[in-house]
Amino acid sequence: MAGLSLDLIALQLFTGLALGAIYVLFAIGLSLIFGMLTVVNFAHGAFYMIGAYAGVYILSFGGNFWICLVAVPLAVGLFGLAVERFLIRPLYGRGIDYPLLLTFGLSYVMVELVRIAFGKTGYPFDTPEVLQGAVNIGVGYFPLYRLFVIGATAAVLLALWLFLEKTSFGLIIRAGARDPQIVRVLGVDVARVWLIVFGIGTAIAGFAGLLAAPLQGVIPEMGGTILAEAFVVTVVGGMGSIGGAVLAGLLVGVVVSMTSLFAPEMGKVSIFALMAVVLIVRPQGFFGRAGLMS
Amino acid sequence: MTRKTTKSGSISRRRLLTTASAGAALAVSPLRINLLRAQEANIKIGFPVPLTGPYGTEAQDQVRAGQLAVAQFNDGGGLNGRKAELVVRDDKLNPGEAATRTLELVEKEKVNFVVGSLSAAVQLAINNVTKERGIIFNSISQSDTINEASDFSRFTFHEALNPHLTSGAVGRYAFSKFGKKVAFLTADYAYGHEMVRGFLEVGKAFNIENLGDIRHPIGTSDFSTLLPRIQALKPDILCISNFGRDQQIVLKQATDFGIKKTTQIIAPLLSHASRVAAGPQAFDGVIGGCSFYWGIEDKFASTKAFNDAFKKMYDGRLPSDYGALGYGGVSAVLAAVKNAGSVDTDKVIAALEALKYDFYKGPQYYRKCDHQSVQSVLVIKSKSKDMRNESDVFEVISTDEPNEANLRTCAELGHKA
Amino acid sequence: MKVKFRGMNEITRPQQRGAATRVSWFQFATEHRASIASLVVLVFPLVMPFTALAVNILIYGLYALGFNLVYGYLGLLSFGHAALFGTGAYLCGIAIAHFALPWFVSIAVGILGGLLMAALIGVLAIRTRGIYFAMVTMALSQCVYYLFYQAVDWTGGENGLRGINVRVIDILGVKLDFINPLTRYYVIAVFVIAAFFVLSRILASPFGAVIEAVRENETRAKASGYDVTLTRLITFILSGGFCGLAGALQALHLSIVPIEILHYDTSGIVVMIALLGGMGTFFGPMVGAAAFLLLENLVSLWTVHWQLIVGAIFMICVLFFPAGIWGTLISRGKP
């Protein structure tokens, strides 16, 4: 086997960042929804998948990738709004498990509907022409599209941060995350806030799915594996913490990338073992709220 | 009611009516129907295939082809008038479900034979159930674990080819043409290991330089962590041993990374469905093996006959590689039944072992020690230009003729001489 | 005057000995729940499309029964019960396929495997709260999945464990043909019925009352002097025993153990079954298993899109019938 040069390790690190970027986007939505609504969205992977398929659909109408970047999160977010309003809202107050169970069933339904509408075998998704090819980043050639993914993720994070920190709605969200009771007492319609948070969270998931499509193609089952891995990210980072999701997402991406360098077979076990360790030693993860009771 | 006295020898009207109605009742009673069915019951062939799941398309093609085989058998008079019937079940690509379905087929449907399976784990599960109950099972799953002594039984037959055979054929072609420095990228599961093992064995004869075997877990959706390592090795040939989704994704990503510019990519198996799903770009220039391609109809009359019959039955559709396996598996069993003149298990086993057939791709027969069908392997290359029709996605660049020497030896598989 | 404690969601009125009481059908059913369940089990194969399906229903019903102990009665949602079910199956299978141990001993090994794995996961997970418990159990059971996957020499890896071929069941000299579908059903039914009685006893015992107390109000239970963590752990371990037995029976029934048995999908299925049937009720899990497997079997015959129907029905249950099929039925019939 060829020697492990510093260049190769650096390249692998970069690859880990690109991998982590998708995890981050996916986990942010999951974390937001959990932090605000205390709902574990088992259908998050299905929303991710729908984002990718929405991209396929729009492209088939002659649209281009840039339009998709805007249209897909809008479409998926709207669908997310409907789901929250009609399926999840009736379950609040019934116990923390019910929304989880509902989204679990919902994921089966969504995946099967997509199979019926688009077929079982999936679609290839071409990298947009202008983003094809590789660039020399100093330590080697790195695919241009992956750099774009890192960039797009950073842009979304920035937008989200600005929204949360600088707008009044963002203020409500942050307050609601800290203490929903007080927010309600102050006259805010919490139900509407939760509706919008769910919409935002699922919109970001759909966006992540669209970004992932050129990397691995589009199949109905694509949400399943990333969901399990994203749970790891959300738990390690801390349920409800955006910063935690970012840090943990990148960490997990790099861990997977590095273990595949040294011991590829241990890749999957390593992240679940990591998740178990964190849950046992420090259940709230890096930045999560301690003592999150049922 | 008054009793009418009748002359002895003549039948009262009442008696006649009673007897007639009793006779009529008996005529339609289940008892009578059962007697009839016992004599003319169809020859049932259980057909568990993964209609649900990622290989649903392939499975549906197998069902189509299997039904064609049954139709041809019935049209040809069946077994002295006795017809055959395909009992299709969905095994959901899950060994536990496959075992349950096989139990249903054997215990409730009382099938005479079982043909089917696509995944390796499923074929082993079905086999475990059928061999315990003395039912012949002709597997159409492409893995040769079932031929190993621990799983094998005299009721077990294997129509499909296996990774060793295909990687051998591709290796023999590629190692003589493209260079000696070979890197391997292998899915870390039984099937992947089988494929790599085949390549390495063939590679010994060609004195290849093994630059390294990089393993990836199955279900990997992102190979970007592995491809730079491979590029750094600077191989002449990159041998990718995986299948299905994994293969589609890795070929796509390898193309994006520009590996094809400096390296020839080979794969042990290229399937029609994968080529269509992944598109021409990903598969462009990739060389691999397969068991069947409709395009060889120029070479074999049996292929042309199969293609024509399939087109006729299914609106001009051409059979795929997986479909052909379904056809071969069922046809072989039915041919043996015809030769044996009965559905008795021992007689059919003997007939299968003696069978020399050419149903769809040229001459084939079953090797005695492990009931593996000895058959040809096609080496193919994806094409995206000069396509005669939308199914014309491969060109056959070489053929490995049927040869027992290309299989793992009986001893290797654990069979005593 | 003796005061008897009854079990969950049911009568808690103490009965005076000697006093004449009018017993409603509901009370009667509760008192003899194990016997009634057993009767149903005995006639079950006659109404099922095929016997192997009836056996699967028994096995998944038992699996759900074990899960129900933790989720329905204790109130802890676990997403890792596949580890308990699968360990029972694999250990029983390995005992037969690799060590040629007699069938009876192998079943015991399976139960033991379930108990031990539950102890291991329980010790690690039991201090976590609420939704985190679900996540930890999922993560730990995935680790178990990968470990068994890698141990190819013992488990067969992703090809599954084959060779669990028990042809003849020898009970004190009487030889039963295990290949015969009905014989196989009744042999397995005997174990399931035994499990019913054991479970019923546990639930009716003082410990059973403590389990429910912990679910209803943990702080109060603690104030009353009960060790909540220990109660949770013991319940989890007991649940492992039942699930381990179910797994062992599954290994014998299918004569293989597929690796998928340890995957989180299998954990998800038991959650669906428990909810569908009705959690916290005695008959709920069996009803749920029957409904789920029959539905899957029937729908599969019409369409390949059975996941759509099953998922939709599950969602409808969560939204409108959270007590599940059985739970909703008995809440109507309750006096």
* Residue range C209-258, pLDDT digits in tens: 888 888 888 788 888 888 888 989 999 999 999 999 999 999 999 999 99
**Closest CA relative to residue B294, chosen from B355, B205, B361:** B361
Check residue B307 and give its pLDDT: 93
ipTM of the shown complex: 0.86
At which residue do the structure tokens 């093992």 appear?
B197
- What are the tens digits of pLDDT across the range B354-364? 999 999 988 99
Side by side, the strands of the sheet bearing B264-267 are B209-216, B181-187, B237-241, B264-267, B287-290, B377-382, B394-400
Report the SS3 class of residue B7.
coil
Q: How far is Cα B271 from Cα B62, in angstroms, rounded to an integer?
A: 14
**Of B239 and A6, the one with more pLDDT:** B239
Bridge-partner residues for C229, per DSSP? none
Predicted confidence band of residue A151 (pLDDT cuts 50, 70, 90): very high
At which residue do the structure tokens 């799953």 appear?
B141
Tell me the shortest Cα–Cα distance from A124 to chain C, in angstroms: 23
Predicted confidence band of residue C324 (pLDDT cuts 50, 70, 90): confident
What are the E-state strand segments in chain C?
Answer: 168-171, 174-177
Q: What is the mean pLDDT of residues C257-262?
A: 94
Q: What proportion of chain B, given as a percentage, has pLDDT over 90?
A: 49
Q: Please check whether residue B380 is in contact with residue B293, taking contact to mean a CB–CB distance below 8 angstroms.
A: yes
What's the burial of A61, exposed, middle or buried (CB within 10 Å: 0-12/13-18/19+)? exposed
Q: What is the mean pLDDT of residues A222-237?
A: 83
CB within 8 Å of B361: residues ≥ 6 apart: B291, B292, B296, B300, B302, B303, B324, B328, B375, B376
Return the C-alpha torsion angle B94, B100, B101, B107, nearest 10.
Answer: 160
Mean pLDDT, chain B, rounded, equals 86
Give CA A218 to chain center in angstroms.
16
| B317 residue type, one letter | R
Domain range for C127 is 48-263
**Closest CA relative to residue C266, chosen from C113, C144, C120:** C144
Indicate if the pLDDT at residue B29 is higher than 70: no
| Interface residue of A44, A84, A88, A280 to substitute, partner C, most C CBs within 10 Å | A280
A114 inside 8 A of chain C by CB:
no
Other beta carbons within 10 angstroms of residue A258's beta carbon come to: 18
B280 inside 8 A of chain A by CB:
no
Q: How far is Cα C123 from Cα B250, in angstroms, rounded to an integer?
A: 41
**Of C3 and C170, the one with more pLDDT:** C170
The encoded tokens of residue A28 equal: 């942010």
Q: Does residue C39 belong to any structural domain of this protein?
A: no
At which residue do the structure tokens 């086999």 appear?
B127
CB within 8 Å of A192: residues ≥ 6 apart: none
Check residue B9 and give its pLDDT: 44
At which residue do the structure tokens 């959650």 appear?
C271
Tell me the shortest Cα–Cα distance from C250 to chain B, in angstroms: 9
Neighboring chain C residues of B156 at a CB cutoff of 8 Å: none
Handedness of CA A30, A33, A38, A43 (dihedral sign): negative
Q: How far is Cα C242 from Cα A5, in angstroms, rounded to an integer?
A: 53
Neighboring chain C residues of A265 at a CB cutoff of 8 Å: 150
Indicate if the pLDDT at residue C105 is higher than 80: yes
Q: How far is Cα B240 from Cα B274, in angstroms, rounded to an integer?
A: 14
- Vertex A194 angle, CA A191 and A195, to 5°: 85
Q: To 10 degrees, what angle do helices C82-97 and C103-125 make?
A: 150
Q: Does residue A260 belong to any structural domain of this protein?
A: yes
Check residue A280 and give its pLDDT: 76
Q: Does residue A151 belong to any structural domain of this protein?
A: yes
Give CA B242 to chain center in angstroms.
18
C268 inside 8 A of chain B by CB:
no
Q: Please check whether residue A230 is in contact with residue A44, taking contact to mean a CB–CB distance below 8 angstroms.
A: yes
Q: Does residue A133 belong to any structural domain of this protein?
A: yes
Q: What is the mean pLDDT of residues C196-204?
A: 90
Check residue A270 and give its pLDDT: 78
Report the SS3 class of residue C129.
coil
> Is B258's CB within 8 Å of A132's CB?
no
Worst-scoring range by mean pLDDT, A127-136, B102-111, B348-357? A127-136
Q: What is the mean pLDDT of residues A84-88?
A: 93
Q: Are strands B84-90 and B209-216 parallel, antiparallel or unpaired?
A: unpaired
Check residue A257 and give its pLDDT: 77
Burial B244-266 (b: 16+ CB within 10 A, else e): bbbbbbbbbbbbbbbbeeebbbb
Mean pLDDT, chain A, rounded, equals 83
Bridge-partner residues for B87, per DSSP? B46
CA distances from C33 to C5, C243, C283 (A): 15, 20, 8
Closest CB to A112: pick one of C150, C308, C322.
Answer: C308
Tell me the shortest Cα–Cα distance from A166 to chain C, in angstroms: 31
> Is B96's CB within 8 Å of C258's CB?
yes
Q: Please check whether residue A113 is in contact with residue A49, taking contact to mean a CB–CB distance below 8 angstroms.
A: no
Predicted confidence band of residue B27 (pLDDT cuts 50, 70, 90): very low
B248 inside 8 A of chain A by CB:
yes
Tell me the shortest Cα–Cα distance from C143 to chain B, in angstroms: 15
Check residue B30 and give its pLDDT: 42
> Is A100's CB within 8 Å of C131's CB?
yes
Check residue A289 and give its pLDDT: 62
**Closest CA relative to residue C60, chosen from B97, B98, B50:** B97
| Interface residue of C150, C159, C300 to substitute, partner B, most B CBs within 10 Å | C159
Worst-scoring range by mean pLDDT, A289-293, C192-196, C288-292? A289-293
Report the SS3 class of residue B49.
strand
Other beta carbons within 10 angstroms of residue C150's beta carbon come to: 15
**Of B335 and A253, the one with more pLDDT:** B335
Check residue B417 and give its pLDDT: 64
CA distances from B158 to B322, C112, C164 (A): 14, 39, 22
Q: Please check whether residue C150 is in contact with residue A270, taking contact to mean a CB–CB distance below 8 angstroms.
A: no
Q: Please check whether residue B46 is in contact with residue B110, taking contact to mean a CB–CB distance below 8 angstroms.
A: no
Predicted confidence band of residue C136 (pLDDT cuts 50, 70, 90): confident
Closest CB to A112: pick one of C125, C131, C305.
Answer: C305
Check residue A49 and give its pLDDT: 96
For residue C231, the number of C-alpha atoms closer than 13 Å in the C-beta half-sphere is: 23
What are the E-state strand segments in chain A?
Answer: 134-136, 141-143
Neighboring chain A residues of B49 at a CB cutoff of 8 Å: none
Neighboring chain C residues of A35 at a CB cutoff of 8 Å: none
Longest CA pairwise span in chain A (Å): 65
Give the count of domains, chain C.
1
Q: Does residue C284 belong to any structural domain of this protein?
A: no
CATH number of the structural domain spanning residue A30: 1.10.3470
CA distances from A43 to A48, A79, A195, C288 (A): 9, 12, 16, 23
Q: How far is Cα A153 from Cα A207, in angstroms, rounded to an integer?
A: 10
Q: What is the mean pLDDT of residues B393-404?
A: 89
Q: Does residue A1 belong to any structural domain of this protein?
A: no
Q: How far is Cα A270 from Cα C105, in angstroms, rounded to an integer?
A: 35
**Closest CA relative to residue C40, chosen from C283, C262, C244, C220:** C283
Q: Does residue A174 belong to any structural domain of this protein?
A: yes
C147 inside 8 A of chain A by CB:
yes
Indicate if the pLDDT at residue A114 is higher than 90: yes
Worst-scoring range by mean pLDDT, B382-391, C6-15, C76-85? C6-15
Q: What is the mean pLDDT of residues B126-142?
A: 94
Please state the pTM of the whole predicted model. 0.86
Worst-scoring range by mean pLDDT, A217-226, B144-153, B170-179? A217-226
Tell me the shortest Cα–Cα distance from A43 to chain C, in angstroms: 12
**Closest CA relative to residue B126, chosen from B102, B151, B144:** B102
Predicted confidence band of residue B57 (pLDDT cuts 50, 70, 90): confident
Indicate if the pLDDT at residue C19 is higher than 80: no
For residue B110, the number of C-alpha atoms closer than 13 Å in the C-beta half-sphere is: 6
Q: What is the mean pLDDT of residues B376-385?
A: 88
**Of C40 and A82, the one with more pLDDT:** A82
Q: What is the mean pLDDT of residues C133-144?
A: 86
Handedness of CA B163, B166, B171, B177 (dihedral sign): negative
Indicate if the pLDDT at residue A72 is higher than 80: yes
Q: How far is Cα A159 from Cα A154, in angstroms, rounded to an integer?
A: 9
For chain A, list the contacting chains (3+ Cβ pairs, <8 Å). B, C
**Of C11 and A244, the one with more pLDDT:** A244
Other beta carbons within 10 angstroms of residue A74's beta carbon come to: 14
- For chain C, what's the residue count? 335
End-to-end, the C-alpha distance of chain B in Å comes to: 83
Indicate if the pLDDT at residue B390 is higher than 50: yes
Give CA C298 to chain center in angstroms.
23
Check residue C23 and give its pLDDT: 61
Neighboring chain C residues of B132 at a CB cutoff of 8 Å: 165, 167, 179, 255
Domain range for A84 is 6-293
Q: Does residue C98 belong to any structural domain of this protein?
A: yes
Indicate if the pLDDT at residue C118 is higher than 90: yes
Give the count of domains, chain A.
1
Q: How far is Cα B48 from Cα B46, in angstroms, rounded to an integer?
A: 6
Check residue C44 and give its pLDDT: 84
Check residue B21 and give its pLDDT: 52
Q: Does residue C296 belong to any structural domain of this protein?
A: no
Q: Return the percent helix, strand and coil in chain C, to nearest 5.
A: 70, 5, 25
Q: What is the mean pLDDT of residues B154-159?
A: 94
Check residue C279 and give its pLDDT: 82
Check residue A292 and give its pLDDT: 41
Check residue C22 and give its pLDDT: 57
Indicate if the pLDDT at residue B348 is higher than 90: yes
Other beta carbons within 10 angstroms of residue C213's beta carbon come to: 17
A180-189, B220-229, C4-13, C165-174 — most confident range = C165-174
Other beta carbons within 10 angstroms of residue A231's beta carbon come to: 26
Indicate if the pLDDT at residue B33 is higher than 60: no
The encoded tokens of residue B347 equal: 């007689």
Predicted confidence band of residue B40 (pLDDT cuts 50, 70, 90): low
* Segment holding B213, helix H or strand E: strand B209-216
- For chain A, what's the residue count? 294
**Count of H-run helices and E-run strands, chain C:** 15, 2
Q: Please check whether residue A255 is in contact with residue A264, taking contact to mean a CB–CB distance below 8 angstroms.
A: no
- What are the tens digits of pLDDT across the range A167-205? 888 888 777 767 767 777 888 788 888 899 999 999 999
Mean pLDDT, chain C, rounded, equals 86
Predicted confidence band of residue C82 (pLDDT cuts 50, 70, 90): very high
Other beta carbons within 10 angstroms of residue C16's beta carbon come to: 11
